[in-house]
Structure 1
Amino acid sequence: MLLVWAGLLIITIAVQAVLLPLIFTGGGKPDILLTLVVACGLLAGREQATGIGFFAGIIQDFASGNIFGLNTLSKMAIGYLAGLAERKVFKESVVLPVLAIIIATFLNSAVTQALLLLLGYKIEFISMLRNQMLPTLGYNILFCIPIHRLIYRITFGNRSQF
């Protein structure tokens, strides 16, 4: 199972870092690593999602060239929080991943922006909200159901009725 997750993370970061910037040229781009972490949390639990969030964040930090640790901390926190709901939710629900990714996208942005503020960077909230976060939210919603279904099949195998 470890090899499956490692392969999935490598494929996901390759798609996110190489292919998606060619398709989405505006301000916001989908964060499919975040969507993967949220789906892992909802379906596999907080321990696995925190680990996946850690490795997804480190890979994203290396690939982006931005301040190292921003994505790692935010993805770990999101994985942990999404994993808290694992035993309390109906895993086959289509509404669940949509609601979870909406919350996760806002939390991910809030954690990242708060860390940047703590590091002394000036943030233009209105511009960032309009030009980056809202388009990213829309794209994440589009990707969340297919990724949720993929993670469901990876986690539960052939028992899937999804």
Structure 2
Amino acid sequence: MRKVILWTIAAAFLLGVFETAILSHIQLLSALPDLILILVVYIALYNGTVVGITAGFFSGLIFDFLSMAPMGLHSFTFTVLGFLYGMVYGKYNVRRFFFPLVLGLSATFLKAGIILILHVLFGQSIQIYNLFAVSFWIEVAENALCAPLLFMLFGLFPNAFEIKEL
């Protein structure tokens, strides 16, 4: 488990830097895909709730350091998502194109819902998604389209991102 968590932390850092340093400077993108969210979903799906929660917490902590969000916002959000998607562990074959697309789509909506709940609980310091804004729907589409690609990429390294059962 430790090896998967360390690889996840390294991948989350690289994806976070890629997202904030490179993707944020592309003028065509009015919203950015949440690559770390997709990483957490992948790790939770292939390793279960314990690894999903741990990976979600540390990946979110890294993303909190790289972004301007309140400290702990993404950490909490990704931890909850790691738990929820970890509950699906071993139940479905997610190696195809369609299922990762649906997972990327659903994870974005769940993330928006969790952030809305945190906004209600903690007030104005937490920015919520406007479900009627074009930028939100662009992010939903980007996450849905990036999920199958990232799932295939992470699938190339099963020794790093998946715990092998004996």
| Displacement after TM superposition at 1:75 (Å) | 0.6
Task: State the Cα deviation string for residues 14-37 of structure 1 (Å, max 9, x = none).
Answer: 111111111256542110000111
- Conserved 8 A contact 1:43-1:91: no
Q: Deviations over 1:76-121 (max 9, x none)?
A: 1111111111110113222111111111100001111221222222
**Structure 2 equivalent of residue 160 of structure 1:** none
Tell me the SS of whatever aligns to 2:57. Answer: helix
User: TM-score, normalized by length of structure 1?
Assistant: 0.85
Q: TM-score, normalised by structure 2?
A: 0.83
Structure 2 segments unaligned to the other structure (5+ residues)? 161-166
Equivalence for 1:99: 102
State the partner residue of 1:13. Answer: 16
Q: Tell me: CA distance 1:6–1:123, structure 2 relative to 1, closer, same or farther (3 Å).
A: closer
TM-aligned CA distance change 1:51 to 1:123, over 3 Å: closer
Extract structure 1 runs of 4+ deviating beyond 6 A. Answer: 122-126
Please say if residues 38 and 143 of structure 2, whose CA atoms lie closer than 8 Å, have aligned partners that are also in contact.
yes
Aligned partner of 2:164 in structure 1 is none
Distance verdict in 2 for CA 1:75–1:9, change over 3 Å: same
- Residue 109 in 1 paired to residue 97 in 2? no
Q: Given that residues 43 and 155 in structure 1 are in contact (C-alpha distance below 8 angstroms), is that contact kept between their aligned partners in structure 2?
A: no
The code of the aligned residue for 2:52 comes to A
Aligned pairs, how many?
A: 157
Unaligned runs of 5+ in 1: 158-162
